[in-house]
Amino acid sequence: MAEAIHDIQIRDLYKIFGPNAAAHVADVKAGMSKEELKSRFNHVLGLNDINMDIPAGRIQVVMGLSGSGKSTLIRHINRLIEPTAGEVIFEGQDVVRMSQAELREFRRRKTAMVFQKFALFPHRTVLENTTYGLVVQGLSRREAAERARRWIARVGLEGFEESYPNQLSGGMQQRVGLARALTNDAEILLMDEAFSALDPLIRTDMQSVLLDLQQELRKTIVFITHDLDEALRLGDQIAILRDGRIIQQGTGEQIVLRPADDYISSFVRDIKRGHVISVGTIMRKGARADSPVTLPATALLEEAARAMTGADANRANIVDAAGRHLGMVTLAKAVAEMIAPDESEDLDPEALSA
């Protein structure tokens, strides 16, 4: 029988930093702003009424600018930060109410964390860094080493087991951090701006490594970033924070197509829509095309436009995962939707399909 997989449920979560934090939750609930709380009481509002369901086996991205509360939020999941009010539910148990013994076991067995600054022991080798958590759990060094070597190889570091962190590049050090987290076989992987310190090409490479591993492992991953391109590439779901409050939650496609306000619109304005929007969203439902091109509903617009152009076709049929017909999309529509809405409104669809 398959092991049950559990969502993480965050309910009515507040974090206020200051000596009398609990006394000001009611003020915040009544509408007191972050600025007013700071000016009147010298307390800082970190999180404001966070409610979120993090789906099991998926990547939940939390993004926002510096000071938005995203790193504060991820540290509540394993209670590295104590909440002022609220619940964090996993497997029917509130992490907030766990005893110290329960919390220690939860951190050791259920969660693993990957940090922006790598957090490797400089005096330990790659293998020793990777086995550290298992040894702490009580596994024999032999068994821990066998398990660690498998994951070191999986993240592309085979042959570097006896190297020290200062002998590795930044991208290689972050691969060690990822291997260490995966070796613990935790259900929840918490990644706090894990790739933000890396050069752009290495960062893209690490994103690919994570996506490839996730396709097989199906961990519950909470990934913090300030980069929307990274959020859109990695996230099954995205939550955007501002001043400790969630402004919008949804898939990347939902956020790009229907930004909740001007703040979100400013985030998505320069996004390459063809990398985000799927043909299933824009297809003409039920319609059929006389076309050699058939695409899954999950195909992105850029992929669809390339397929139709390559086949010298101006239409494509759309099917679901089982191959059942769903509808049809035109090349003109796909190209128009890849352009920002205010620009695509003036396009001549017939000229595009000519």
Instruction: Tell me the per-residue pLDDT of 100-158, one tens digit each, with 9 for 90 and over.
Output: 999 999 998 899 998 877 778 999 999 999 998 888 888 888 999 999 999 999 999 99
Instruction: Tell which CATH classification among 3.40.50.1820, 3.40.50.300, 3.30.70.590, 3.30.420.40 matches the domain 55-86+94-273.
Output: 3.40.50.300
pLDDT at residue number 2: 41
pLDDT recorded at residue 339: 80
Across the range 317-326, mean pLDDT stands at 95
> Residue 166's pLDDT band (boundaries 50, 70, 90)?
very high
Read off the pLDDT band of 340 (50, 70, 90): low
Amino acid identity, position 16 = I
How far, in Å, CA of 296 to CA of 304, rounded? 9
Q: What pairing do the DSSP bridges indicate for beta strands 59-63 and 44-54?
A: unpaired
CATH number given to 275-353: 3.10.580.10
Contact predicate 106/98, CB 8 Å: yes
Q: Which of 55, 44, 51 is nearest to 17 (CA)?
A: 44
Q: Is the pLDDT reported for residue 85 higher than 60?
A: yes
The mean pLDDT of the chain is 90
Q: Are 63 and 225 in contact (CB under 8 A)?
A: yes
* pLDDT of amino acid 279: 94
341: pLDDT confidence band, cut at 50, 70 and 90? low
Q: What is the pLDDT of residue 1?
A: 36
Cα dist from 297 to 276, 327, 339, 341, 349, whole Å: 13, 9, 20, 21, 22
Domain ranges, ordered by start, for the chain = 55-86+94-273, 275-353
User: Is the per-residue pLDDT at 353 higher than 90?
Assistant: no
